[in-house]
Chains A and B, each alone.
Chain A
Amino acid sequence: MFVSILQQGDFLIASIHAALDDSELMRFQKDVMAEIANHRAKGVIIDVAALDVLDSFGSWSLRNLVHMARLRGATTVIVGIQPEVAFSIVELGMELDVTTALDLENGLEYLESVTTGHRAGKSMLGVLGSHDT
């Protein structure tokens, strides 16, 4: 599998290193959910920087994963979306109503600000949707 799920304090960093097919994506989804439960993670970062294409199923399952993690109590942010991917997601008309950040560093910054609540950094970041106050 071309994915890794690492623990970093209270957070999980799930990286996708190469394009995944549909079944691999489903498996990735299940693994992340299991790891959230195992580590009692408060936040998850999904790093897609290595992907230069993302089809509609891919973005749909990432969005679902973000919402599922939310239900399990972990704030999730997607980081490293490439310019081409960003525009194709919008071009396909997919509402990716999830929090996004430029890269891993910004993603961590964001998670720290929302989980400890001592920094009002949310407005600085790209936020689609307003369901994660």
Chain B
Amino acid sequence: MLMSVPDDRRSDEEESVDEHRMLPELVAHLRQHRTELREDWARRIEASHLLHAMTPQEIGSETSSVYDNYVEVLETGSVDALQRYARDLSERIIPRGVETDEVVGIVLLLRDVLARSLFQKYQDDFALLNRVLDAYEPAANRIANTVAVSFVEERERIIREQQDAIRELSTPVLQVRERLLILPIIGVLDAQRATQLTDQLLRGIRIHRAKVVVVDITGVADIDTSVANHLVKTVDASRLMGASVIITGLSSDIAQTLVRIGVDLSKMNTIGDLQGGIEEAERQLGFRVIRPEQG
């Protein structure tokens, strides 16, 4: 065997030609030892306590797919298929609580397992090993990157979807009687949601021609002073549109905040609970609820 020590003056072109020559050999090696390398990898995953949300059978089938995808990327240099697979995998495993570090961890483990096997194969020829690694490392890095990015992207997509759902659900405007609306608010009322609340409320008054609106904040634990001020402004604006607002279910913390900022209480109509609020609203609108006598 006659091998020269890698020459630093090699041009990029030569290097890439070299890479093209080395990769097929590499791929052939990895295909040939597929079973043992994959098993070694699965053992390492288990030893590192990664993917404990999945059963050994699932780990077995996923590791086979990842392995094949991995080798395919090394062979073709195209990460498209891997990207698709990584997205699909993320979609399946994110709901089961698999974390980013686990996914990145198993890919890095595979990278390590394969690199070790290369070390073993070429240990007698340092120069050749160097060239093999030159070809292997960039591809392996690209794969690790692709998988991590796909996983995070999938995660962000899920978060965005959930945010949209929360936003849509957060301020429903419900008509319970002619010209009577109810806005139940649950959760944290921050500045953004308060703005949305005002928007929905004023639009709701216009669409439903409401005269009385009951805003129920039983489900809101506390609000800060700027949101409290915003709430008072919303009540005033509703009044300008010809509707009166009844606020129900104030917690003691919110009551304290409203008093602290010095709200003009004659302008705010507040009632203890939602039931009382609806009764008051019905009274204002001239409705009377009568229980038929049972004979």
Chain A contacts to B: CB under 8 angstroms: 79, 81-83, 85-87, 89-91, 96, 100-103, 106, 123-128
Q: List 6 A-B contacts (CB under 8 A).
A: A83-B205, A86-B237, A87-B233, A102-B243, A124-B285, A126-B243
Q: Is the CB of B240 within 8 A of A100?
A: yes
Given A102-B209, A124-B284, A79:B242 Cβ within 8 A: yes
Alpha-carbon distance A102/B212, docked complex (angstroms) = 11
Q: Is the CB of B240 within 8 A of A102?
A: no
Q: By DSSP majority rule, is chain B's interface helix, strand, loop, or mixed?
A: helix
Interface size class of B (residues with CB under 8 A): 20 to 34
B195-210: CB near A (< 8 Å → 1, else 0) gives 0001100110110011
Q: Is the CB of B242 within 8 A of A83?
A: no
Hey, which chain B residues are within 8 Å of A82, CB to CB? 206
Closest A residue to B283 by CB, please name it: A123
- When A and B form their complex, which 8 residue pairs have the shortest distance between CB atoms, in order from nearest? A83-B202, A102-B242, A86-B237, A101-B242, A86-B240, A126-B239, A90-B233, A126-B242
Given A83-B199, A87-B198, 7 other A-B residues pairs in contact with their CB atoms under 8 A = A81-B240, A86-B202, A102-B211, A125-B242, A126-B240, A126-B241, A128-B236
Task: Kindly state whether residue B150 has any CB partner on chain A within 8 Å.
Answer: no
Closest A residue to B266 by CB, please name it: A130
Alpha-carbon distance A90/B210, docked complex (angstroms) = 20
Task: Kindly state whether residue B244 has any CB partner on chain A within 8 Å.
Answer: yes
Hey, which chain A residues are within 8 Å of B237, CB to CB? 83, 86-87, 89-90
B140-180: CB near A (< 8 Å → 1, else 0) gives 00000000000000000000000000000000000000000
Task: Kindly state whether residue B238 has any CB partner on chain A within 8 Å.
Answer: yes
Max chain B C-beta neighbours (<10 A), residue from A79, A82, A87, A103 = A87
* Residue in contact with B211 in the complex, picked from A83, A96, A125, CB distance below 8 Å: A125
